[in-house]
Amino acid sequence: MAEARPVERPLSPHLQIYRPMLTMMMSIAHRITGFGLYFGALLLAWWFIAAANPTAYSKFESFVGSWIGRLILFGYTWALIHHMLGGVRHLIWDSGRGLGPNEREWLAAANLAGSIVITLILWGIGLLAMGGTS
């Protein structure tokens, strides 16, 4: 009769209870890009060490020149810019500005749109400076 059953207590609302919002998505994206960039730093180390040696560099080049390598490099640069703009947003908030409902939404949209536009512009500058891709 006196059976000890675990009591089903209500939990505080978590992610699945909320309708996805842009500000929430950009907050999550900031953490995910930061997590990804952490391991992306390995690519930099590989690149810089390989650059000293022709054989090692041809190995690196064939990776970074493949479609998957290009995708990873493009993703890495996009994540850098997205995380950078997300950081600028946080610096604005640190100053006590941009916390109103409209400003928050605008900043989140600008973070996403800006990351795509700036990444494409930087690739444009970089590709012009090298005179075409290979």
Partner 1 sequence: MSAPTHIRTPLGRVLGRGSAKSGTEHFWHQRLTAVANIPLTIAAVVILIMLLGRNQAAAAQILGSPVVAIIMLLFIASITAHMRIGMGVIIEDYVHDETMKLSLLMANTFFCFAVGLAAAYGILKLSFGV
CB of residue 98 to partner 1, shortest distance in Å: 16
The CA dihedral of 30, 35, 36, 37, to the nearest 10 degrees, is 80
Q: Does 115 engage in binding with partner 1 (CB under 8 A)?
A: no
Q: Distance of alpha carbon 23 from its chain centroid, rounded?
A: 15
Q: Does 110 engage in binding with partner 1 (CB under 8 A)?
A: no
What tokens does 78 get?
Answer: 């996009």
Contact window for partner 1 (CB under 8 A) among 12-20, 35-43, 96-104, 108-116? 35-43
> In sequence order, what are the residues at sequence separation of 6 or more whose Cβ sits closer than 8 angstroms to the Cβ of residue 92?
98, 107
> In sequence order, what are the residues at sequence separation of 6 or more whose Cβ sits closer than 8 angstroms to the Cβ of residue 5?
none
Which element (helix H / strand E) includes 105?
helix 101-130
What tokens does 112 get?
Answer: 């996403």
Contact window for partner 1 (CB under 8 A) among 5-13, 14-22, 74-82, 102-110? 74-82
Residues 11-30 that bind partner 1 (CB under 8 A): none
Q: Where does this chain bind partner 1 (CB under 8 A)?
A: 31, 34-35, 37-38, 41-42, 44-45, 47-54, 57-58, 61, 64-65, 73, 77, 80-81, 84, 87-88, 90-91, 94, 119, 122-123, 125-127, 129-130, 132-134
